[in-house]
């Protein structure tokens, strides 16, 4: 993207031609993993704009969660968790609980699949790791954004997060290729990429799994790990969305529309970015999931990090990565400037490099893009021009986080709960 326009979209397929294996197109739908958090944050800020909540709204006022036996949360500090804490990864909740669906099912004496309410209520049986909002207790918000999805659905008056997202964000932007991810390949739509388990990063605790299998979270039996061992329908705003790169580009372009934005007005855009920048600057402490690992924390208002290039002129940089075994997405953009989205249906380790940003960035800047907006080719009406923006002369880079977004999310996931992700998986 450049400003509010889509200027280039392309899909690449590395595989032998096959009548049963689809070519990757710009409209091909990919699992977005943690890029789902960007969608969730925008939906939450839309609700804040509408007056349905504020950053200081208490989560328990909205959800009123209790333990499986009906008693109040074990840790009384649950009552102090606010929407801001979910957006900024500072709730104090153990973030690895997102993978504890099996324990939640047992706590309720039920059977798979676990429900959203069961997992949320099971989490209240655990103590918090610290006081909500503690700037020295930041841990990448997987469970935080899972809860945020429940909050969004409740405040929007819908049954599911997917319905709320559609009403708040997708329909206003004309996005038709974003939906809830499907766990089982039999439930996957024909326009979605085929995902592959090709993880090989032993330094991060991910040895080679040429054929990783596990117990189905949707019932009984053994399934390929990436098609049944993790419940994507449960992840919602944490990591449970699938989308095309064109739809993700539309979301990025929306951040540039300050005059007739169908989702967020200019005041809300400023608040979102100012809060994201402030959180990046003030909460960039070591991830407490493993104090021995000095990796910085991240995950603020839908981004891994954001910086102000020129706040007075509304120019910001932001990035977001998404990663789970068998998938990966990277989003890097500058408001008023260029935005890049890359989605892949496999994971590449240290042997094969995909250093795409620098060459693509240079190619984009060397091209004299005309006034054409490719969004109209995909049934989307043009957004308003980026009036008032000033593109800084330096090139877009990964300086926002100091690390490629996809890799940063993968590292956080490995720190938080790699054993939980593989809890029922046979090597």
pLDDT (tens digit, 9 = 90+) per residue, 60-69? Answer: 999 999 999 9
pLDDT over 80 (residue 194):
yes
Stretch 334-340: mean pLDDT: 89
Rounded CA separation 381/391 (Å) = 24
**What CA–CA distance (Å, rounded) separates 9 from 99?**
34
DSSP annotation of 300: B
* Cβ-based neighbour number of residue 49 at 10 Å: 17
Indicate the pTM of the whole model. 0.92
- Whether pLDDT at 134 is above 80: yes
Rounded (10°) CA dihedral 102, 108, 114, 118: -110
Beta-ladder partners of 51: none
Cα separations (Å) of 296 from 90, 231, 299, 396?
Answer: 14, 28, 10, 21
* Predicted local distance difference test score (pLDDT) of residue 200: 62
Looking at residue 286, the DSSP 8-state letter turns out to be B
Question: Cα separation of 65 and 120, whole Å?
Answer: 7
Token pair recorded at residue 365: 């800047």
Q: In terms of Cα–Cα distance, which of 82, 40, 32, 39 is closest to 57?
A: 82
> Over the stretch 239-250, which tens digit does the pLDDT of each residue have?
999 999 999 999
Three-state secondary-structure class, residue 334? strand
Give residue 367's pLDDT.
Answer: 83
Cβ contact 139:95 at 8 Å = yes
| pLDDT bracket for residue 202 (50, 70, 90) | low
Mean pLDDT of the chain: 87
């Amino acid at each position: 993207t450049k400003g509010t326009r889509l200027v280039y979209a392309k899909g690449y397929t590395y595989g032998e031609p096959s009548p049963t294996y689809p070519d990757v197109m710009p409209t091909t739908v990919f699992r977005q993993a943690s890029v789902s958090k960007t969608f969730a944050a925008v939906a939450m800020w839309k609700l804040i704009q509408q007056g349905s909540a504020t950053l200081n709204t208490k989560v328990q006022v909205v959800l009123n969660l209790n333990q499986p036996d009906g008693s109040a949360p074990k840790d009384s500090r649950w009552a102090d968790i606010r929407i801001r804490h979910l957006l900024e990864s500072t709730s104090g909740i153990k973030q690895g609980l997102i993978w504890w669906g099996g324990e939640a099912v047992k706590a309720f004496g039920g059977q798979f699949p676990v429900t959203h309410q069961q997992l949320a209520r099971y989490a209240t049986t655990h103590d918090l790791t610290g006081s909500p909002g503690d700037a020295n207790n930041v841990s990448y918000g997987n469970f935080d954004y899972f809860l945020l999805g429940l909050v969004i659905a409740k405040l929007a008056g819908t049954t599911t997060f997917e319905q709320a997202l559609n009403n708040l964000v997708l329909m206003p932007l004309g996005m038709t290729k974003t939906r809830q991810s499907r766990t089982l390949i039999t439930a996957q739509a024909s326009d979605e990429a085929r995902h592959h388990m090709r993880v090989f990063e032993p330094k991060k605790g991910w040895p080679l799994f040429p054929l990783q299998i596990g117990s189905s979270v949707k019932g009984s039996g053994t399934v390929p790990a990436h098609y049944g061992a993790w419940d994507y329908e449960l992840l919602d705003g944490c990591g449970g969305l699938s989308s095309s790169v064109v739809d993700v580009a539309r979301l990025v372009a929306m951040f540039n529309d300050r005059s007739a934005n169908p989702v967020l007005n200019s005041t809300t855009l400023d608040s979102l970015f100012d809060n994201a920048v402030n959180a990046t600057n003030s909460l960039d402490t070591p991830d407490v999931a493993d104090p021995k690992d000095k990796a910085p924390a991240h995950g603020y208002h839908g981004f891994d990090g954001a910086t102000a290039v020129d706040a007075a002129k509304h120019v910001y940089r932001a990035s977001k990565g998404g990663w789970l075994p068998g998938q990966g997405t990277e989003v890097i953009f500058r408001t008023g400037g260029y935005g890049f989205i890359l989605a892949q249906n496999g994971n590449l380790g240290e042997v094969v490099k995909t250093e795409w940003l620098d060459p693509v960035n240079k190619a984009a800047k060397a091209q004299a893009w005309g006034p054409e907006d490719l969004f109209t080719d995909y049934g989307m009406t043009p957004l308003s021009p980026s009036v008032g923006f000033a593109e800084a002369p330096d090139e877009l880079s990964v300086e926002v986080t100091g690390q490629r977004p996809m890799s940063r999310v993968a590292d956080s996931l490995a720190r938080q709960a790699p054993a939980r992700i593989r809890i029922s998986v046979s090597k």
